[in-house]
Amino acid sequence: MQKINRRKVLASGMGLLAGAATQLSLAQSDAWPSKPVQLILGFPPGGPNDLVARALAIRLSEQFKQQVVVENRPGANGNIAAAAVARAAPDGHTFLYNSSSLALSHALSSKNLIDPRKDLLPVNGTAALPLVLIVEASFPASNFREWAAQVRANPGKFNYGSPGTGNLAHVAAAMILQANGLNAVHAPYKGSSEALQGLIGGSTHFQLDSINSPLSLIKAGRIKPLFVTSPQRSHVLPEVQTLVEGGSSPIDAAAWQGIMAPAKTPSAIVQRMGAEISKAMASPEMRAALAAQGAYSIATTPERYSTFFSEEMDRYKKTVEALGLKLD
């Protein structure tokens, strides 16, 4: 009688199980999405993330032949939305449309609702935008040097708005102020649109914002752009100097966005969603929408977005520590 090799039998059994799991995973991907897909966004309508997310949702709806809906759940600098997605069923029908604040919040506070590295899965990046510093139309400055001179001559007398405490716009403004020996008071709002209203109404004197958010107000002459944080000038505001052209040291502060899934979402669904995002972001319609907003695509793969997200969390931790910022 031929002796049965136990290891070979076990290995064969494991191979069959792995093959069955792969087939099940592929079947899940093929059947997905079986109902409308939610992109939950942690900021109010009309802000920089909302503008890109809604354009992307249109493209994904067409690709899936299934509705993709953006749902705004503002609060706690995006953390309420992140926690809702972390608790959602991991069936590929609920995703988080995240901003860079998801990585930044973890560095600023020890009392976060979730740990994004444990509770969420990176799916893909979507877009990135330079930040622009804006002032009310009558502010007596037209570039970085003139603005810095005004702030330096009035230490602590100017205040600056942001979409919320711990938002990249808040932290980047603090970086610029500190790097140039300037002092101003932070005034947080509940989202970019509300902060812009505060600036227009005279409650604040300046603010940083993702370039797409105030663009229509800039074009209408209601507010004035002084500089952008990107290494090159923006094609939507070609007359506006960069921060470095104005005489400041550079800061690494592009506002980036992406999509995350609940932690236990099947790999096949994550991979397919990542591929569909890349396809949508590369479409002529989406490229035109991004160009009009002054944004650019950062879509790659789930693996590359995961690496990028983790590196950004580490970088923000160092930045926050250097600034001495803490929310608790």
CATH of the domain at 207: 3.40.190.10
In percent, how much of the chain has pLDDT > 90? Answer: 76
Confirm whether 107 is domain-assigned: yes
* Residue whose C-alpha is closest to residue 272's, from 60, 57, 110, 84: 60
Confirm whether 110 is domain-assigned: yes
| Length in residues, the chain | 328
Looking at the fold, whether 159 and 77 belong to one and the same domain comes out as no
What mean pLDDT, rounded, does the chain reach?
90
Looking at the fold, whether 124 and 140 belong to one and the same domain comes out as no
The number of folded domains in the chain is 2
Cβ-contact 122, 95 below 8 angstroms:
no
In percent, how much of the chain has pLDDT > 70? Answer: 91
Looking at the fold, whether 79 and 222 belong to one and the same domain comes out as no
Looking at the fold, whether 153 and 124 belong to one and the same domain comes out as no
118 C-beta neighbours (distance < 10 Å), count: 8
Q: Which band of pLDDT confidence, cut at 50, 70 and 90, is reported for residue 112? A: confident
Mean pLDDT calculated for residue range 12-24 = 49
Looking at the fold, whether 135 and 107 belong to one and the same domain comes out as no
Cβ-contact 113, 83 below 8 angstroms:
yes
- Give the domain-ending residue among 188, 211, 228: 228
Looking at the fold, whether 110 and 137 belong to one and the same domain comes out as no
Beta strands in 73-130 (DSSP E): 94-99, 120-129
Note down the domain range covering 297.
35-128+255-323
38 vs 110: which has the higher pLDDT? 38
At 4 the pLDDT is: 44
Looking at the fold, whether 178 and 90 belong to one and the same domain comes out as no
Mean pLDDT calculated for residue range 241-261 = 92
Whole-model pTM?
0.85
Q: Which band of pLDDT confidence, cut at 50, 70 and 90, is reported for residue 264? A: very high
Q: Which band of pLDDT confidence, cut at 50, 70 and 90, is reported for residue 21? A: very low
pLDDT tens digits, one per residue of 24-64: 454 555 789 999 999 999 999 988 999 999 999 999 999 99
Q: What CATH number corresponds to the domain at position 299?
A: 3.40.190.150
Confirm whether 236 is domain-assigned: no
Looking at the fold, whether 70 and 214 belong to one and the same domain comes out as no
Confirm whether 237 is domain-assigned: no
Residue 190 has pLDDT above 60, yes or no: yes
Cβ-contact 113, 287 below 8 angstroms:
no
Residue 1 has pLDDT above 80, yes or no: no
Looking at the fold, whether 119 and 151 belong to one and the same domain comes out as no
CA dihedral 102, 103, 108, 110 (to 10 degrees): 80
Task: Extract the tokens encoding 281.
Answer: 């972001």
